[in-house]
Chain A
């Protein structure tokens, strides 16, 4: 992991390369480095870090920071295999305009990260973050016509009541569901 000063150097290099406002925050916590950047500049930031050696995108995952705004976050875990270095890049977007540039496709500004394909679809499915430029943004884990984004913090956890014999009648009013006992007509 880059240490705290290394992290500041990386942040400074990013600001020099991409503009002063691109890095909104840096955090060095438990020996791990995190850089928070603007959502629509993520491609450029990752390309810059790729040039610095962080060529492996290990994970793209979403976080819901409810009730803090901006509410939705997307984390990109980068790994430098030659120096065994990890860095996390974070973006935060509000839930009323949850748009992030997609890092999946190869575009005019450079090669993309094909590994982010399914992972960005999962973040879209679970949190509702829309990735602009993703080749095939649709639900991946939930049924395609599902409404709602389940892993948001205000989405109810759901569940079914467990059926015992005392509430079996209310749960299945049409009759007993057990196959053999309805067929053979066996005793209670």
Chain B
């Protein structure tokens, strides 16, 4: 209920009325459902406010309930809108990378990859093979980390609270690896236009191998713990299924689509950054219910471990960033001897790189689906438009069809399995 209820309400406020006493048939008829004709009940519109422990972030849902059955769900977003795209227009290209990283805050390497890929396409600059493999290593580690956080918080929502601590224990190991390679745990700004900012240090490979050796057994433990939990199975099996056709018309991609049976994955369909050098499988579900979404993501963790192992084994020698001095900073030892290096360094740091005018859309496969970055350049050193097509923003539209007719508890489970990240939704 809005505390500030003016006598003349806007159309928006009128639609948000909390309790409506209209007879059930009228309301159900408005929702397109001619279910029961029990006119002694009424529909209740409940506000799952932005501050709620079970909505993953500041998501507000207006849920219309008939008893415990959800009849309609209206998501209201914008509570963490940060104006990232507008801020990005104000900064030079390499300064946009940390801004854009903070969008989908669990998959920061993917945000940076999408943006760097778009700018590299505009610049027509080649990324060296070693840099591509390093990018793949960090991207897949980030995928594992994102799925671990998803698993921990979803199990927390479902009541299997111990999973949270186990998943965050593995997450700490991955963050240690990120800290080793770039100095930061989150939002590392490791990916730069043309490659990565620094080569991996000594000891990184050993630590990574140690992590990869024990990770599959950990994922086994988590999978067995939840698969043996009758409550989790009852809450996930058979709840809120949605077929692949409806998902495609809603624009849903990623594990949600794969759980419904459609094996669409940009890493296989349209490989970028040397993904075609690696052998891995795409887990695909059958029923498209919550259990399949859960199982798909857990299986993806195994596949990501395989990809990282292959990338680490096959890591070629070479530069870690492009040699084009107009795009990438020259190595520091050159600044003492070469005048051109000094000038390039100066230009890049003060003004930034100049990108030829054009527009490009660069899609990649993030842990939540197709993450695309649209960059429009007008020839100057600052982008004229940066738009991130965030998978969670589009996937959120699937919430309403999924939960119509299910119980509230299934709504919570579905929200958890949807894996929305509000930073990406609101940007």
Contact = CB atoms under 8 A, between A and B. Distances in A.
Verify whether A and B have any Cβ pair under 8 Å. yes
A30 B358 contact: yes
A142 interface: yes
A145 B12 CA distance: 10
Nearest to A116: B251
Contacts, number: 100
Interface residues of B, number: 41
A159 B317 CA distance: 45
A29 B376 CA distance: 12
B393 to A, nearest CB: 6
Q: Is the interface of B mostly helix, strand, loop or mixed?
A: mixed
B426 interface: yes
Contact of B372 (A29, A59, A153): A59
A77 B121 CA distance: 17
A9 interface: no
A157 B86 contact: yes
Nearest to B396: A118
Contacts of B359: 29, 34, 63, 75
A157 B389 contact: no
8 contacts: A30-B122, A30-B358, A63-B387, A140-B77, A141-B78, A150-B83, A153-B384, A155-B86
Interface in A110-146: 111, 113-119, 122, 126, 138-145
B28 interface: no
Contact of A30 (B252, B270, B360): B360
A126 B251 CA distance: 21
B376 A63 contact: yes
B205 interface: no
Nearest to B401: A114
Contacts of B121: 30
A58 B389 contact: yes
Contact of B264 (A81, A150, A158): A81
A151 B397 contact: no
Contacts of B278: none
A58 B364 CA distance: 12
A136 B283 CA distance: 36
Contacts of A55: 248
| Residue in B122, B359, B363, B393 with the greatest tally of chain A CB atoms within 10 Å | B359
B372 A58 contact: yes
Nearest to A125: B78
Contacts of B89: 153
Contact of B426 (A63, A141, A144): A141
A119 B269 CA distance: 25
Contacts of A58: 251, 363, 370, 372, 389
